[in-house]
Amino acid sequence: MTPHTIRWGIISTGGIATTFSKDLLVDPATRGVTDVRHKIAAVGSRSVPSAQAFIDKLKAASGPSSWGAQNGGLEGTKAYGTYDEVYADPDVDVVYIGTPHPFHHQNAKAALLAGKNVLCEKPFVMDVAELDELIAIAKENKVFLMEAVWTRFQPIAYAVQEAIQSGKLGRPRRVTAELSSFAHIDDRADDDRMIDPKLGGGALLDLAPYPAVWSMLALHQHPQNTDMEPQVLDFSQRIYKRNGVDEMSAFTVKWEGLAEARLLNDFTAWTPRDNACVIDCDKAQLIIDHPLYRPERFRIVPHPQTVAGSSESEAPAVKPDDITEETEHRFSIPAGNGMHYEADHVARCLRDGKLESDRMPLAESRVVQGWLDTVRKGGNSVLKDWPHIAGNW
């Protein structure tokens, strides 16, 4: 069967647009995919030379993406000096948006209004009101819209969820999840998007979508969950004095009747490498390695009371279906960075005429966006008054 080829329009030429585009050009066969393929039809930047330089670099790149460059993935790719030209290009099936978060809404809106399907980087937008507008436009224009939470499409994410949903670990009681990395914020320029308020800087908006992934997969999608509007119970932020964005955000979310998740992001410290997410269940803990955007290993670790010789093993006798031994489950990405799994998913959705992903549904993006709103608006960062404050810059 001939693979179904999807033609991408790439918006912006920054860091993640580069990583995503390179992954589009990796040979799908390296990950066992034969039904879909990717081509970069157009690149939009704020200047033509920058778009052209982006394409030239992709063409010259060595490594796994060179396969696509040699096999039609960059054939006739157009370099545009505006984003609008990408939205208007009839050779583009789907637009990928990789601009800083405050621009996601306007970029996605323009693409949807031009009738394009859209895959938009995380965090989807700046608040739920912006997201609701995009969802309404996508519905009205009958086009596909999805937040680019690539982690959900990695094989390890399916495996973790299968382990939780198998029931063998028992009911989940609590998720703790952290994505922190020492980001050298003192050394960054004022206009660096990680810390510049105008570019949506701060740990919450940049990092929180990733701990959220694991709580959504383990708890929100758990068969025993009935709470589809889990709320933030409490939160704290530490503010970076230099420019008023949050350098650390932590919050707790409760799924009424099931469990809680405690989620943490910090620009000034590192996540413990082998303990980034703990999904504590009745019979064992499922523990995922750092980094939570692309972990390569999880372990199933028995509770102390079921381990022979443990000081806590005086407690109840071990039952036949108890988990008594630790197991390790490794997942490496065969070629590329791993964003191609989400691209394959989008390609299949488009091929099958879907307007929404069942793996990354808009309702779930809306739930997580709502948490970000609660913490941001309730906290003390300069972004608490977005969008009103934006007019003052």
Ligand X SMILES: NC(=O)c1ccc[n+]([C@@H]2O[C@H](COP(=O)([O-])OP(=O)(O)OC[C@H]3O[C@@H](n4cnc5c(N)ncnc54)[C@H](OP(=O)(O)O)[C@@H]3O)[C@@H](O)[C@H]2O)c1
* Residues of this chain that bind ligand X (CB under 6 A): 12-17, 45-46, 50, 98-101, 103, 121-122, 148, 150, 193, 199, 206, 293
- The rounded distance, in Å, linking the Cα atoms of 174 and 290 is 18
Nearer to ligand X, 163 or 194 (CB): 194
Token pair in block for residue 138: 């996508």
Nearest distance from residue 105's CB to ligand X, in Å?
11
Q: Residue 379 CB, nearest distance to ligand X (Å)?
A: 18
Closer residue to ligand X (CB): 11 or 33: 11
CB of 66 to ligand X, least distance (A): 22
Cβ-in-10-Å burial (0-12, 13-18, 19+) of 353 comes to exposed
> Cβ 280 to ligand X, closest distance in Å?
26
Nearer Cβ to ligand X (153/240): 153
Looking at the Cβ atoms of 101 and 303, the one nearer to ligand X is 101
Q: How buried is residue 393: exposed, middle or buried, by Cβ count under 10 Å (0-12/13-18/19+)?
A: exposed
Contact between 293 and 276 (Cβ < 8 Å): no
State which residue, 260 or 342, has the beta carbon closest to ligand X. 342
CB of 207 to ligand X, least distance (A): 9
Residue whose entry in the numeric block shows the structure tokens 């608490």: 384
What number of H helices and E strands is found in the chain?
11, 14
Residue nearest to ligand X (CB): 14
Burial class of residue 161, CB neighbours in 10 A (0-12, 13-18, 19+): middle
The DSSP secondary-structure symbol of 174 reads E
Minimum distance from CB of 302 to ligand X (Å)? Answer: 33
Residue 42 or 163 having the CB closest to ligand X: 42
